[in-house]
Structure 1
Amino acid sequence: MNIKAICLGAFALSVLSGVAFAGALDEPSNMQPFFTDASMKTMKPKAEFKAAWDSMAKDKQGAMMKECQDAAMSKPHAEFCANLQALGGAN
């Protein structure tokens, strides 16, 4: 095999595996209800945050809680996870 084919295969594998590792906290449709702006920089007040959490499907809640309990996964979402932990993670 030539080096070009090997590099192309490695690149394709890395792109496909990157999509597979995206979690619930990385999914914009999951996170948007908790933010006031489209850029998702400003979180909603605690009462609205809780209302958004309560309206979310239980399977999504579970996935988000699981990721917030993982230090590596939650690091980029520290403020969100802190708010979630303050709720107790459940209704």
Structure 2
Amino acid sequence: MGRKIACLAAATIALLAQQASADPFSDLAVLPTFYTDAAMKTMKPMAEFKKAWFAMPKRDRTKMTKACNDPAMSKPHAAFCANVLALGGAN
């Protein structure tokens, strides 16, 4: 029984570590709130973007700000990151 618990605990820790390092842009449940279309090609105006930004949990805003400061991560999301950085990466 102890071995099963140890294995389960190790698997849980591995899954949590994987989630912590995941690409914050891969959360497609959050990103559509920043776009006007389903294809996520047209960004909402800054006022609406700002409202959606501050509706996100602080930890998610922090992760996205860090990703936008990384040139390799931000390049595919240039318009989004420009808005994030225009907000000063506000947390």
TM-score w.r.t. the length of structure 2 is 0.73
How many residues align? The count is: 73
Cα drift, residue 25 of structure 1 = 1.3
Offset of residue 89 of structure 1: 1.1
Report the CA distance between 1:26 and its aligned residue: 2.3
The aligned counterpart of 2:33 is 33
Cα distance in 1 between the residues matched to 2:90 and 2:22 = 23
More displaced 10-residue stretch of structure 1: 75-84 or 27-36: 27-36
The runs of 4+ residues in structure 1 deviating greater than 2 Å are: 19-22
Extract unaligned runs of 5+ from structure 2: 1-17
Runs of 5+ in structure 1 lacking a partner?
Answer: 1-18
Is residue 65–residue 89 contact of structure 1 (8 Å, CA) maintained in 2? yes
* SS across alignment from 1:29: coil
TM-score by length of 1: 0.73
